[in-house]
Amino acid sequence: MVSASDQLRPALPAVRGSLERRVGRLLRSSVPIAQTAVAAAIAWQLALLVNPQPFFAPISAVISLGVASGRRTLRAVELVLGVAVGIAVADVIVTVLGTGTLVVALVVALAMAAALLLGAGNILVNQAAVSAILVATLQPPSGGVSPNRFVDALIGGGVALLIAQVLFPRDPVKAMARAAQPVVEDLAAALEATARALREGDRALAERALEMARAVDEDLVGFHDSITVARETMPVRPGLRPRERLPLYVEAAQRMEYAVRNTRVLARRAVASIRRHGPAPPELAEAVELLARAVRALGRRLAEPGHEVEVRRCALRAAARATSTLADDPGLSNVVIAAQVRSTVMDLLRGSGMGDEEARRALQAATEEGETPTDVAMRTVPRQS
């Protein structure tokens, strides 16, 4: 039978599974996928006007857009040129020498060399090799050297650039902000579950919080991917300046990764502490709750400028609360949990834009020198001139 106390106990929070996370990433990528499909179809139809079998037009369009990564502008132009160079080199070589194992090796080497001579980056070089392989193996030229396939590649790439840059230009800043939100939400939920477990002495909840913290790694993959794409993006729309905010996201992603690791350690220690000692001091649970608030504030800061003070105030209050518990109960479990809280606070302060030394001084002032966390947080925000 289920006891009355068990019936009244709140259900354990759900852990988003791997499949659910991947479905979420798929939904966020639905627009680029649709754009790529449309680009391939349009490229094929246009290339039919000059070539009855425009095999390379949709290939060029797909490669240029990039189904998952969404690389744009100069990178897309580089990909288009890479495809075209590979096709041109392979056409000439295969026409002269025919096909075969050694010919495949030769066309790949020469296509890559030609791309490098054009001053290409790694992506162009690799795409030149891929295109050369396609020519040499799938559709070797049968009627001598022809410009048709070179033109096909340019048509496909041109369609891709038209869709990416003119019709549906992508805002990499918004993409990074969207990718950051699952990390923020899941990390905050793990911290909130840990706080509740510490307050109530609920070991099962603490173990669930640990599962939640471990699962955030998949969210981080998507966040880092969005930053990689933004680095490779050079938007042409006036007024869009992702490079001004890119360093903020790069630092935040790294610090949130550290915060996730610290949260896992914190949750593991919470499990051990509850098993041995039951509920933790209320101040310690409150400190972990404040960490969750700081994480959510950091997510708001990533979505739009501002909120630095809120991140720092909540984080420094968390450090102050955790440190205050040690005066009354300096047990090993409390010391370890407080240390993890302080480590996570440092990560969140750095993620909010503070330098390492500035964050250390703010943490020391809030926990050792008697200043209020609000005063310290306000003092760390530069004055507007």
Tell me the residue type at 86.
G
**CA nearest to 273, candidates 187, 207, 189, 367:** 207
Measured distance CA(96)–CA(129) in Å, rounded: 18
Longest distance between any two alpha carbons in the chain, whole Å: 88
Rounded to an integer, what distance in angstroms lies between the CA atom of residue 30 and that of residue 193? 32
∠ CA 181-182-186, nearest 5°, is: 120
| Residue pair 317/342 in contact by the 8 Å Cβ criterion | no
Residues 357, 360, 361, 364, Cα dihedral to 10° = -160
- Domains present along the chain, CATH in parentheses: 19-167 (no CATH), 172-379 (1.20.58)
CA distance 382 to 356: 16
Contact 351, 259 (CB under 8 A): yes
Which pLDDT does position 2 carry in this prediction?
A: 37
Alpha helices in 201-281 (DSSP H): 203-231, 242-277
**Closest among 345, 339, 210, 198 to 281, alpha carbons compared:** 198
**pLDDT tens string for the chain (385 positions)?**
334 444 445 567 666 656 666 777 677 667 777 888 888 899 999 999 888 888 778 877 877 775 434 445 565 576 667 667 777 777 778 788 877 888 888 888 887 887 677 655 666 677 777 777 877 776 666 665 567 777 887 888 888 878 776 777 667 788 888 888 899 999 999 999 999 999 999 999 999 999 999 989 888 988 888 887 777 654 444 444 555 677 888 888 999 999 999 999 999 999 999 998 899 989 999 999 999 999 999 999 888 777 788 999 999 999 999 998 888 777 887 888 899 999 999 999 999 889 889 999 999 888 875 555 555 555 555 443 3
Question: Distance between CA atoms of 230 and 250, rounded to whole angstroms?
Answer: 10
Question: How distant, in Å, are the alpha carbons of 299, 310, 311, 363 from that of 248?
Answer: 12, 16, 14, 21
pLDDT of residue 17: 59
pLDDT at 347: 93
Please list, in sequence order, all residues whose beta carbon lies within 8 angstroms of the beta carbon of residue 93, skipping any fewer than 6 positions away.
103, 106, 107, 110, 136
pLDDT score at 259: 93
pTM for this entry:
0.69
Residue type, 273: S
**Please, are residues 52 and 212 in contact by the beta-carbon 8 Å criterion?**
no
* Alpha carbon distance 334, 280 (integer Å): 8
- Rounded to an integer, what distance in angstroms lies between the CA atom of residue 109 and that of residue 125? 10
pLDDT at 264: 93
Residue 224 neighbours by CB under 8 Å, 6+ apart: 253
Contact between 309 and 300 (Cβ < 8 Å): no
Q: Is 73 left (phi over 0), alpha (psi -120 to 50) or beta?
A: left
DSSP structure string for 123-145? HHHHHHHHHHHHHHHTS--SSS-
Q: Rounded to an integer, what distance in angstroms lies between the CA atom of residue 324 and that of residue 234?
A: 49
